[in-house]
Structure 1
């Protein structure tokens, strides 16, 4: 019986760990390999599609797409509207906001804001746990040095972080059944494969993944199911 309990506990732990991992598509033109390696080392399954946005077939089974200063395509837009998570870096905001129109806001142009610019997470950003493991404000050398400006932020869009002058730097909101997270900073510049503030922010952002490609019971449901199995087994053992 003790052996059976051990098996149940091990199974519950495995399900809990796998539920936190995401299947991610990365594309664009900035530190693709480093971002991919970093996320893989942190338990995610990642495919780097290079500079070209992935097709609908390539997005099958994917939870999240990361656009590194590159334009997406209809497949990426449809992926988000159908329930996927899109995370952008720097100028990828332009396509996302002004062409795909995934959020009620506009992109702008490049702006030099200075190396190590502090980024302050708002109450809305903290509520999404984007600040886990980070000071508030946080800064990250060359990865908080340039911004793709944002404007005309309208209804349904949350300002999740600002830079000095109360200027919006990270915004997000619902896009159809999915979620779009715009980080207008150059957070992937010289992206390190080891720990960094931008890396921690990215891992936090991936917790916004809302669905699994092949749905599985939530960890709590699994635990209840396993407890039930233990009870049934114990009852049968007592009858013998």
Structure 2
């Protein structure tokens, strides 16, 4: 996508960037799939930020899914959290089938229609890759670290006025909760709420923190 298609480490190498990476609470890599140098960039920014939370949201991996799961295997120690949507989850499952790594039962691999199956499948993936994984779907969101798994129902919007950017809103809200030491269930609840407000375009813009707090106060108390 424009200049981002070949966005490698050399484009950000500087003492200022190194200082920022070294002092950041979290370092986020998004849109790996649209960047042919995404793996190089991932290794650089995560290796240069040893004290930060490392968060990865790859975007649509359908054309590079086999390469992506290989990256997850090779660099799992660099990645703290992987955030994916339903389509990206299915692409990972298909890629594992292509590589003969069948970790999810044939019966349930494509079935994300119940919270139980969703939790089982995310648990399998997290355990397999040794990475904490979040998945957000139309029925709800799940977090798993391969040992514990938490599910929270989605908040269904009455109407959808905007779609592009909903995943980014979910990610940012989950990270906000994580950095403020929310419980895992609270992180998912908060992220689901922010995504809901974004999809409904409730405030005619991306909701601010004040908007979110006011909504919680007005509708939940």
Q: Which one has a bigger Cα radius of gyration?
A: 1
Which of the pair has the greater relative contact order for Cα pairs under 8 Å at 6+ separation?
1
TM-score by length of 2: 0.36
TM-score by length of 1: 0.34
**Structure with the largest fraction of helix:** 2
